[in-house]
Structure 1
Amino acid sequence: MACTSQKIDSNVTGLRYAEEECLKELPLAPVWHPLEPNGYNDFGGQVTTIARNPINPSRQRKKGVITDLDASGGFGQDLTQTGLTRLLQGFFFADIREKATTAPTNGAAIPLTGVVAADSEYEAAAGLAIFGAGSLIFASGFDQAANNGLKQVSGSTATAVTVNETLVDETPTAAAKLQTVGYQFASGVVNINVSGSYPRLVRATGALDFTTFGLVPGEWVFIGGDAAATRFTTAGNNGFARVRQVGVDFIEFDKTGATMAAETGTSKTIRLFFGNVLKNERQANLIKRRSYQLERTLGQDADGTMSEYLVGAVASELSLQVRQADKVTVDLSFIATDNEQRPGLQGPKAGARPDLIESPAFNTSSDFSRIKMHVLAAGNTNPNPLFAFLTELTLTINNNVQPNKAIAVLGAFDVSAGTFQVGGNVTAYFADIAAVQAVRNNADVTLDFALVKNNAGMVWDIPLIALGEGRLNVEQDQPITLPLSMEAAEGGAGHTLLFNEFPYLPNAADV
């Protein structure tokens, strides 16, 4: 005998999202990507009713009518390496700029058909010529451990990528993929030149065209590998650096981890690591509004899985929260045009539902490889920071999304996006009056931070900030702290916020 359940626990629920083809319309074969919510904030539809209140002797109101529907939803989850990158495109109103890969976020995949040990090559029916000789690629999803990890490309054709490392024969599954994560220069090819206003990685010999790396101004790279031969001798010439401009024979930097010094890379096979870039775009043809359907499953009734949906949902607000001795968490909210409920008999909507790719959360104690706020100074890539340590940091995105209402429409027929606003708050330990003066002087300030874990990582960069507040917090028996508000503006590279995802980083990046 089947027992009737009188309640459903929250732990049996699940959350997924699918990108719509057009507003409120799913593609023919939607993919419902999994999420890991820690909790929800006002998820669903809120109905507005207005009661009838005619003048009558009984002084009683009559049952009202439904006049409006507001559909929205928010949730929070831990920041992980792989959990949110695809969805972040919606908040940036842009496509992620990816390096060559067999599994692009927004394009057709290149199925890998085999791994041949005798030839040290990965094979596919077509499409593998995108991986050039010298490229560093990261292989993942293979059953044989030897076929995963960092590899250096020695050559490629449309049907094969040959690497320098030893491989094992395998017929890979659909989960296997190759991603470009950097480049290894031949011996003595690159030097560090500091003769100009900004330091440069320059080509000393050969004809390699640096513009083929696909780097853009504002993007971050990591210079140097783990082996001594793959990094510069001067420690300050290695590490995270932000690209200012790229030429055929140089890469110029305007942010570095230390002050760079002139160095000749004789006998060095320097490694340069780079990743995928997501930023709010300046050019109209690169700005893309995405809409989603968010699916929350609600457990089982007598007939199957119950579910509810936010339909025509556009990314509205994001809040990245960093607290001492904690996980890094993200709150995300969406404004939708409608919401739907489906009983078990109807079941969830059709589509593929891939498994969650497990990834550990970033913590605020040991996963920050770099965090720095400083006043911008022309020609100085490594100015003194405004503070040494933070107690908390909040970074926010607000797309100012509003639903569009109309007569004869319950809910909204569309949504409109307003100004792309980036801001937040920081609280720092006070050590120098320079931070207070930066507020008073309305100085041009910038903030960036890098998170690294398990040989992968990400950088968040706000290139131009105006600081607010700035009143010192002085309490008995406590260190002096300085709370500051941040209002970001368009920087020199044409964006307000940039997110850099690194699928692979060397051990040297985890400091």
Structure 2
Amino acid sequence: MADLQSTNRVALAKVRETTFGVTPTSPAFKAIRQTSSGLNANPKTVITSEIRSDRQVTDLILVGEDAGGPVGGELAFSVADDDLEEALQGTWSNSPSITVAVADTEISDVTTTTITVSAGGTAFVAGMLTLTQALPTAANNKLARVNSSTATSIVYPAATFSADAVIPVGASVRQVGFQGASADIAAVTSGGNGLTSTVLDFTTLGMVPGEWIKVGDGDTTNCSFATAADNGFCRISLVAAHKITFDRVPTGWVADAGTGKTISIFTGDFLTNGSTKRSNTIERQYLDHSPVTYEYMRGMTLNTLQVEAKQQAIATYTKNYIGRDAVLPSPMVRVSGATDVAAPTYGVLNTSSNVGRIGFDGSTITGPNFVMSAQFTINNNIRAQQAIGSIGAVGTGNGEFTVTGQLETYFGDPTIYQKVINNTLTSFDLRVGRSDGNRESLLVDFPSIKLSSGSPAVSGKNQDVMIQAGFQAIMDATRLYTVSVGRFWYLPIV
């Protein structure tokens, strides 16, 4: 007897569509890590109105179909990159990187000073910090500072690497920050908190206003400011050739000349909300069936994305799609030319050791208003567009981009409650990431929010008084966006 279908044997994958509702030719399906999938097709049927003398119904007529639904997952670095891009309808601005797809091709050689590449070398400019990974010699996988570059070479100081002649698939070089020469970078307060340089040109390093950066590398000798308060996360408000101005700095920021220091700064990829709507074909495989059953949900446009972090739990997210239709191929075979792209393998993030910061009004929330839970929902208010001549939707329409959320905190003092009462403009940011390996992290920033609800809740005896503060994110008047996401591929421990 054939096995019945188990939920553990249902595979989910997706591919971006070029044309709404049309699966690309020879699609490369990216595997989706999931905890649940409620995707479904809902046929719309109508009973015939024909009157018969024998009182019987002769037909149930299919007149339309709605398709879509939720997919749940656990948050891990890189697994939600496409989902964030689709939810924000923006486009990732990526730091320079080269990854080997064909062995010994994109990167073909490593000498003691030079990484030889097939193209793209000039994107790596002097002063950049790069992270090399998956090179054959283990000691070659590390941080290093770029000296110079050409289209086909990235050049480093003498004796940076050992020779690697054959470079495998998956090996990579990626910018993760930059480093000044000795005493070139200083922390300043005059003219606004920021960093200044004498030689290094900050405008060549890919930074933009609104982006967060990490100042200092306490893991490496002389790569942090002597003033501890000047080493931490800062948000950029302006980038000039020899000054980066910040509108958010760690508490206690002061001037520090950086004497004798080669200050390291860590940067990442950057995403803000826009209006570029994207659709997908989602493939669901029922692997216990023989032959395998394939189901294709076409035109799947991400409508909402909710991220939730509760105390002592796994950080989770749920995405909800609205699309065109669902089809089962006949005969039951996979779409022609389909290939598979494995999902990222980074570990899931918890809310105990993987939350680096919950920021409110520019400062990290610690005590006395300790956070019990935080969640936010991005809603594109997508609508399915129906028309005569089509069972499924002919398209999806964009609506207003809205972001709401909630912070549940202990009622340690009245500062949060006061902002609710006074309709005070404030901000909220959340950084989650690995505490091991390269400390890969995501930083979500809502630069302008107003608290829309919340008052102290007295629920009975022997309980802590809590406040659940709902918020509405609004367009920041300076940056002209509502939400940004930073993606850090490397962060120091200190």
Which residue number in structure 2 is paired with residue 5 of structure 1?
Answer: 2
Which residue number in structure 2 is paired with residue 377 of structure 1?
Answer: none
In the aligned structure 2, how far is the partner of 1:322 from the partner of 1:383? 16
Which residue number in structure 2 is paired with residue 437 of structure 1?
Answer: 418
Q: Which amino acid aligns with 1:92?
A: L
Question: After alignment, is 208-217 or 218-227 more displaced?
Answer: 208-217
1:306 pairs with 2:290: no
Post-superposition shift, 1:294?
0.8
Q: Which amino acid aligns with 2:446?
A: I
Post-superposition shift, 1:233?
0.9
Post-superposition shift, 1:140?
2.1
Contact 1:243 1:254 in 2 (8 A): yes
In the aligned structure 2, how far is the partner of 1:504 from the partner of 1:344? 47
Question: After alignment, is 347-356 or 93-102 more displaced?
Answer: 347-356
1:366 pairs with 2:347: no
Post-superposition shift, 1:39?
0.7
In the aligned structure 2, how far is the partner of 1:47 from the partner of 1:259? 61
Contact 1:74 1:332 in 2 (8 A): yes
Post-superposition shift, 1:452?
2.8
Per-residue Cα deviation, 1:92-115 (whole angstroms, up to 9, x for no partner): 1111001111259xxx99943323
Closer/same/farther in 2, CA of residues 387 and 247 from structure 1, 3 Å limit = farther
Which residue number in structure 1 is paired with residue 193 of structure 2?
Answer: 199
In the aligned structure 1, how far is the partner of 2:481 from the partner of 2:132? 31
Contact 1:387 1:428 in 2 (8 A): no
Post-superposition shift, 1:406?
0.8
Pick one of 474, 495, 507 that aligns with 2:458.
Answer: 474
Structure 2 unaligned spans of 5+:
none
Contact 1:110 1:124 in 2 (8 A): no
Closer/same/farther in 2, CA of residues 143 and 83 from structure 1, 3 Å limit = farther
In the aligned structure 1, how far is the partner of 2:382 from the partner of 2:332? 34
Which residue number in structure 2 is paired with residue 411 of structure 1?
Answer: 392
Post-superposition shift, 1:54?
4.1
Which residue number in structure 2 is paired with residue 329 of structure 1?
Answer: 316
Contact 2:136 2:164 in 1 (8 A): no
Which residue number in structure 1 is paired with residue 479 of structure 2?
Answer: 493
Question: After alignment, is 167-176 or 355-364 more displaced?
Answer: 167-176
In the aligned structure 1, how far is the partner of 2:20 from the partner of 2:104? 28
Which residue number in structure 2 is paired with residue 218 of structure 1?
Answer: 210
Closer/same/farther in 2, CA of residues 458 and 18 from structure 1, 3 Å limit = same
Q: Which amino acid aligns with 1:69?
A: E
Contact 1:220 1:274 in 2 (8 A): yes
Closer/same/farther in 2, CA of residues 143 and 78 from structure 1, 3 Å limit = farther
Which residue number in structure 1 is paired with residue 253 of structure 2?
Answer: 260
Post-superposition shift, 1:352?
2.8
Contact 1:216 1:246 in 2 (8 A): yes
1:78 pairs with 2:111: no
Closer/same/farther in 2, CA of residues 126 and 56 from structure 1, 3 Å limit = closer
1:357 pairs with 2:349: no
The SS at the match of 1:18 is strand
In the aligned structure 1, how far is the partner of 2:280 from the partner of 2:132? 30
Per-residue Cα deviation, 1:333-359 (whole angstroms, up to 9, x for no partner): 111111111367422452331223311
Closer/same/farther in 2, CA of residues 174 and 480 from structure 1, 3 Å limit = same
In the aligned structure 2, how far is the partner of 1:299 from the partner of 1:343? 17
Pick one of 224, 228, 239 that aligns with 1:235.
Answer: 228
Which residue number in structure 1 is paired with residue 40 of structure 2?
Answer: 44
1:448 pairs with 2:435: no
In the aligned structure 2, how far is the partner of 1:6 from the partner of 1:47? 28
Post-superposition shift, 1:201?
0.5
Contact 1:112 1:122 in 2 (8 A): no
Closer/same/farther in 2, CA of residues 353 and 383 from structure 1, 3 Å limit = closer
Q: Which amino acid aligns with 2:417?
A: V
Post-superposition shift, 1:60?
4.2
Task: Give the alignment of 1:374-389 within 5 angstroms.
Answer: 374=361, 382=363, 388-389=369-370
Which residue number in structure 1 is paired with residue 162 of structure 2?
Answer: 167
Post-superposition shift, 1:23?
1.4
1:22 pairs with 2:19: yes
1:296 pairs with 2:278: no
Which residue number in structure 1 is paired with residue 108 of structure 2?
Answer: 114
Post-superposition shift, 1:471?
1.9
Closer/same/farther in 2, CA of residues 103 and 468 from structure 1, 3 Å limit = same
Contact 1:19 1:290 in 2 (8 A): yes
Contact 1:373 1:385 in 2 (8 A): no
Post-superposition shift, 1:26?
3.8
Question: After alignment, is 58-67 or 69-78 more displaced?
Answer: 58-67
Task: Give the alignment of 1:272-283 within 5 angstroms.
Answer: 272-281=265-274
Q: How does the TM-score come out when normalised to structure 1? A: 0.90
Q: Which amino acid aligns with 2:451?
A: L
Per-residue Cα deviation, 1:204-239 (whole angstroms, up to 9, x for no partner): x22x32111121111100000122410101111111
In the aligned structure 2, how far is the partner of 1:349 from the partner of 1:466? 50
1:178 pairs with 2:173: yes
Q: Which amino acid aligns with 2:174?
A: Q
Q: Which amino acid aligns with 2:193?
A: P
Structure 1 vs Structure 2 CA RMSD: 2.3
Question: After alignment, is 396-405 or 10-19 more displaced?
Answer: 10-19
Contact 2:99 2:170 in 1 (8 A): no
In the aligned structure 1, how far is the partner of 2:288 from the partner of 2:42? 24
Closer/same/farther in 2, CA of residues 250 and 400 from structure 1, 3 Å limit = same
In the aligned structure 1, how far is the partner of 2:80 from the partner of 2:239? 29
Q: Identity of paired residues, percent? A: 27
Post-superposition shift, 1:143?
3.6
Structure 1 unaligned spans of 5+:
282-286, 375-380
* Corresponding residue pairs, total: 486
Post-superposition shift, 1:426?
1.5
In the aligned structure 1, how far is the partner of 2:334 from the partner of 2:270? 37
Pick one of 458, 469, 475 that aligns with 2:442.
Answer: 458
In the aligned structure 2, how far is the partner of 1:121 from the partner of 1:344? 53
Closer/same/farther in 2, CA of residues 146 and 344 from structure 1, 3 Å limit = farther
Q: Which amino acid aligns with 2:273?
A: N
In the aligned structure 2, how far is the partner of 1:393 from the partner of 1:425? 6
Post-superposition shift, 1:385?
7.8
Pick one of 447, 459, 469 that aligns with 1:484.
Answer: 469
Which residue number in structure 2 is paired with residue 284 of structure 1?
Answer: none
Pick one of 283, 293, 315 that aligns with 2:302.
Answer: 315
